[in-house]
Structures are given as structure tokens and as C-alpha cells.
Structure 1
Amino acid sequence: MTAGVRHLLGLALAIVSFVGTIVICALPQWRIEKIFWESSNVAPQVFIEGLWKVCGPYSAHTECKEYEEPFVSISQDLEVARALIVIAIIVGVIGILLGAAGSKFINFVPDERKRSKIAMASGVVCIIAGIFVLIPISWTTITTTTIQNNFNNFLPHGTLELGASLYIGWITTALLFLGGGLLCSSFICQDGTD
């Protein structure tokens, strides 16, 4: 695989993972809490926590409320995750812009040596963005499983599950690391071949 193809593939993976980071930031499914009742005829109550709002049966139907409203508080792991995911989005934008500037197909920087250094910087920035996604995803996963183990002791008729955002976050992290690695490796192959 030539360095140019490797660079384009890394940039494409960085863009896809950037979209994934935005999805996990916006999607309100980080943690799902289900409470079952003694009688099997009653449907379980489901509370879904996200970074910006919590959804649950607050009235006759399921409603989402922001954390800033009274009586709705955000847990510490989700509050830190909110900040780190926003930082990851900002860092991801910088990585993508550097990747586009360091591309061999866009003549933004005429000097080949500087262009390859920009590509290397783009890869490093994408890997840093992956770390900013990995930390809250891992912390929330560990916190949720720890709470689930303690949750069964206090509420035997309830479950606490990982939400879809965490699974998307794991994939996004892998794509950020892979894309960043491909962008960095395009710097190593300066002659254009392996």
C-alpha cells in the first residue's frame, strides 16, 4: 500500500470516527436502568441516561429532561465524559484539518517534507482524540458494571445495562487509533512505497 493510499484511508477512518464521536455525544443512551415490578403484567420502568439528558417515564409517556432541570442530577462519570467527549470532538476536527492539509492530493503545502510532517501530526492528534474518547467510555463501562453488582443487592428486580453509545464509542476509539496509525505510517514511507 502506498503512502498516499494509506494517508487517504487514515483520513477516511478519522472522518468516520469523528462522526461516531458526535453520535455518542448526542445519543442519550450511555446507561440504561430497568426496574421490574413483582407482577409480570406491568411493563418495566426504563430510565436512559445520556451526556445531556435523561429519559424516563416522568408522566404518562416517556419524556427526556435535561440535567440542569431541578431534581435531575448527572452522575460524576457522565459529567466528566461530557467534557472529554467535547474535547475529543474539537481535537478530532484539528486532526482532520491537519490530515487534509498534509494530503498529497491537495496542494496546500508545496514542500513534500513539511507535508509529511503535517500528516504525522495529524495521526498523532487523531490518536490523542482516541484517548479522549477511550477514557470516558472505559470509566463509564467500569462504573456501570460496578454499580450493577451493587445494584442487585439493593434492588433485586432491576438491571443496569450499558447503552448503545458505549458500544459505538468502543468502535469509534478503535477507528481513531487505526486512522491515526495509518496517518502516522504515511509519514514513515516518504518515498511513497512500503
Structure 2
Amino acid sequence: MACCVLQIAGLILGGAGMVGTLAATAMPQWRVSAYVEGNIVVFESIWEGLWMDCISQLGLRLQCKFYDSLLALPPPLEALRALMCLAAALAVPAFLLAITGVKYSQRRTEGPGAVSTFVLAAGMAFLLTGTLVLVPVSWAGGSVIRDFYDPEVPAPLKRELGAALYVGWASGALLLAAGAMYCLCWCWAGPAAGHSYPRLARAARPGAPALAVHAYV
């Protein structure tokens, strides 16, 4: 019962983390303009994302433009793109594995070994996805904070943390929590599912030698 609750909770958290990962990858608000010192133009906001930059005027008009050339992008941005795309690509199969694990948990009598395999695979995939999300998001956030407090960076070029970074941090935490729940569930049910059933079946066999029964212990 406890393992079933963990799987359902992990499925919900993992699904939310998957949606957040896809959203953070697509959102343009990774870096937003900072209003410091002489930069007091408050009716216009600049957003910089992985794929485009946007200009928001009074929150009513939004103009976005995709980056012109892939080869002209700075290497850090290309690395952030690659990591987030990899995380988004892994989040979907991780969620599908989690659904499969919950589905087969309702059929323990048909194949407990398969249940533990799906649960473990989903947990490891969630943990890996959460790590892949947190690395680029934390990297981008650290770069924004460093430039913000760097006196050599001009005020118009200073940026603040955008909404996409907070979504990425939250999604990474949800994915890690989901992975921990699935791995914990496998630790509880996986080894027992793989070994206790043969031992009980052999022990219950009429006329089975005592030495053969102890060999499974």
C-alpha cells in the first residue's frame, strides 16, 4: 500500500516536473532586463531565452525574434540548449516509464519482477532528468548574478533572474523528488518481489526437502 502511494505521488510530481521542464526550455524569460542606476526605462522589458529574445512594452505588446544563426551563438548558450533539450527528451520517456510502473503494480500476481524493473527505471530516469535540468538552470542563474554584481558590466547590460529559471529549479526539484520516491519504492518492493516469492513457493511445495528450502534463504 505504501509503495502504491509513493508511485502515485511520484507520478504526479514527475508529470509536473516534465511539464515544467518543457515550459522552461521554451520560455524566453531566462534573463530579464534589470532597472538599476541610470537604466530607468520601465515601460520596456527585455527578455532573453534559449531560442529568442523579446521586448515587452508595458506588458501589452510583445515582440519576439528568434536568433538568426545557430553557429553565431556563444558556446555557453549552445551548451544550455543542449542540456535542456536532453532533459526535455528524457523527461517524456521517464514519465511513460512511471505510468507503466503504476499500471503493472496493479498486476503483481502476473509479474512482480517486471514491476520492480519499471519502477527502478522510472526512478533512475527521473533522477537523471532532474539533474540535467538543475545544471543548466543553475549555471544560467549563477551567470546572471555574477554579471549583476560585476561593476565592469554596464547598467544597460545587467540582467535579473527570469521566470524560466524559477520554473526550471522547481521542475528539477519535483523530478528529483519523484525519482527518490520510485527508487525508495523499488528498495521496499523490488528485492522482495524478486526473491520472496520463489522462497515461499518452494517452501509450500509438499514433500520438498528441508535442504532445498534453506538454499533459498
* TM-score (norm: length of structure 2): 0.74
Write the letter of the residue equivalent to 1:65. K
Mind listing any 5+ residue stretches in structure 1 that lack a counterpart?
A: none
Match of 2:92 in 1: 93
Match of 2:46 in 1: 47
Bigger relative contact order (CA 8 A; separation at least 6): 1
Match of 1:123 in 2: 123
Match of 1:30 in 2: 30
Matched, 1:183 2:182: yes
Change (3 A) 1:74 1:108: farther
Write the letter of the residue equivalent to 1:91. L
Match of 1:9 in 2: 9
> What SS is found at the alignment partner of 2:152?
helix
Native 8 Å contact 1:21 1:133 kept in 2: yes
* Two-structure CA RMSD over aligned residues (Å): 2.9
1:109 Cα deviation after fit: 10
Aligned residues: percent identity?
A: 29
Give the Cα separation in 2 of the matches to 1:174 and 1:156. Answer: 33
> What SS is found at the alignment partner of 2:46?
strand
Between Structure 1 and Structure 2, the one with more helix by share is 2
Give the Cα separation in 2 of the matches to 1:39 and 1:180. Answer: 44
How many equivalent pairs are there?
186
Match of 2:75 in 1: 76
1:29-54 CA-partner distances (Å, limit 9, x unpaired): 000124668596x5465321011100
Give the Cα separation in 2 of the matches to 1:84 and 1:110. Answer: 38
> What SS is found at the alignment partner of 1:63?
strand
Could you say which structure has the larger radius of gyration? 2
* TM-score (norm: length of structure 1): 0.82
